[in-house]
Amino acid sequence: MVDVPTLVEQAREGRPRAVARLISLVEGASPQLREVMAALAPLTGGAYVVGLTGSPGVGKSTSTSALVTAYRRMGKRVGVLAVDPSSPFSGGALLGDRVRMSEHASDPGVYIRSMATRGHLGGLAWAAPQAIRVLDAAGCDVILVETVGVGQSEVEIASQADTCVVLLAPGMGDGIQAAKAGILEIGDVYVVNKADRDGADATARELNHMLGLGESRAPGDWRPPIVKTVAARGEGIDEVVEALEKHRAWMEEHGTLTDRRLHRATREVETLAVTTLRARLADLHGDRRATTLAERVVAGELDPYTAADELVAGLTEG
Ligand SMILES: Nc1nc2c(ncn2[C@@H]2O[C@H](COP(=O)(O)OP(=O)(O)O)[C@@H](O)[C@H]2O)c(=O)[nH]1
Ligand SMILES: [Mg+2]
């Protein structure tokens, strides 16, 4: 068992090992998470959460690393959460990410964590927000959350950030891929990375067209900017930071930041409620109450909706 109050106190002081251990508790779905989250709750709410999503290979990790450099120059403490449920810890994309992030490895103002939640059913939906809470409580000013733009829960994590950045790259039929993945609706800022390659202008134009950015909007509406970058050389990254800061200011002015956080918390609570109910239901399997209800449905004494209502009522009692 972990000494939660001590660990939380150490994380609050910004000690990297404590932060890492807390995130490991999240990843391992520890039974102590309830206690951890209760202790963290009053320490959260200070971080600006930025989601970055896009197809594999567009340059999310490279851009994230460049953004870390930019925010560090501004004196901000930065957390990075790279969510990749498809990769095992030791290999593939995460190993590459480690290389890309290695320049920040010795910087005490940066926390970098890759999270693999493969195997946990629906694990990502609740684990990512809780890992964000840990980084938030540890005093990060900015949290960058990288998720691959494939798969509903990955896309959802990015879309629930305070600001969502969607990345594309030229020459990958990327506009169409992005549209298919449903990530063209969720961007607050769009980045066309690999602008050193042919076709970046065409991709930006295509994107501009697909997003209907040429059309007029109501005054005061947010118009997502399209920024061209060469993340590998750090080019255009200051413009991305500028776009992020503008979006944040716009949200604060329009109350959108509060709305988004409310939406995020709503989803988080719902996910936990469903997880809890599912666990209680599993505990009940074979229980006499459940069997009796089933028997009454078989006998035609009870319809399945009423039986389900009774079951749920029984689950939530005490
Ligand atoms: N030419 C070029 N290559 C880049 C640029 N940014 C990243 N890359 C390369 O694209 C590959 C994929 O980058 P990565 O950041 O891992 O993409 P991710 O899968 O979206 O995280 C790597 O080999 C990077 O070095 C860029 O601006 N220009
Ligand atoms: Mg990556």
Q: So what's the pLDDT on residue 217?
A: 73
User: 85 falls in which pLDDT band (50, 70, 90)?
Assistant: low
pLDDT of 94 > 50? The answer is no
Query: What is the residue-averaged pLDDT of the chain?
Result: 86
pLDDT of 93 > 80? The answer is no
Give the residue, 299 or 312, on which the prediction is more confident: 299
Give the residue, 314 or 190, on which the prediction is more confident: 190
Asked if residues 146 and 61 have their Cβ atoms less than 8 Å apart, the reply is yes
Q: So what's the pLDDT on residue 89?
A: 41
Q: How far is the CA of 106 from the centre of ligand 1 (A)?
A: 22
CA 251, CA 262: separation in Å to the nearest integer? 13
CB atoms within 10 A of CB 221: 9
User: 182 falls in which pLDDT band (50, 70, 90)?
Assistant: confident
Nearest CA to ligand 1 atom 7: 59
Q: How far is the CA of 26 from the centre of ligand 1 (A)?
A: 29
Asked if residues 51 and 165 have their Cβ atoms less than 8 Å apart, the reply is yes
Nearest CA to ligand 1 atom 12: 57
Poorest-confidence range of 36-45, 283-292, 301-310?
283-292
Q: Read off the pLDDT of each residue in 203-212 and give the average, rounded to a whole number.
A: 87
User: 126 falls in which pLDDT band (50, 70, 90)?
Assistant: confident
Q: Which domains, ranges and CATH numbers included, belong to the chain?
A: 1-43 (no CATH), 45-254 (3.40.50.300), 267-317 (no CATH)
pLDDT of 117 > 70? The answer is no
User: 276 falls in which pLDDT band (50, 70, 90)?
Assistant: confident
pLDDT of 278 > 70? The answer is yes
Residue 194 in tokens: 């690999």
Residue pLDDT, tens place only, 38-80: 999 999 999 999 999 988 889 999 999 999 999 999 999 999 9
Q: How far is the CA of 50 from the centre of ligand 1 (A)?
A: 19
Q: So what's the pLDDT on residue 105?
A: 76
Q: Report how far Cα 41 is from the mean position of its chain's Cα atoms.
A: 18
Nearest CA to ligand 1 atom 3: 194
Q: Is 105 helix (H, G, I), strand (E, B) or coil?
A: coil
Q: Is 191 helix (H, G, I), strand (E, B) or coil?
A: strand
Nearest CA to ligand 1 atom 19: 57
Ion ligand 2: residues, Cβ under 5 Å: 60-61
Please report which helix (H) or strand (E) contains residue 72, including its range. Answer: helix 60-73
CA 229, CA 195: separation in Å to the nearest integer? 6
Q: How far is the CA of 232 from the centre of ligand 1 (A)?
A: 7
- Percent of the chain scored above 70 by pLDDT? 87
Q: So what's the pLDDT on residue 192?
A: 95
Please report which helix (H) or strand (E) contains residue 10, including its range. Answer: helix 4-12
Residue pLDDT, tens place only, 133-158: 999 999 999 999 998 877 777 778 88
Poorest-confidence range of 169-173, 183-187, 290-294?
169-173
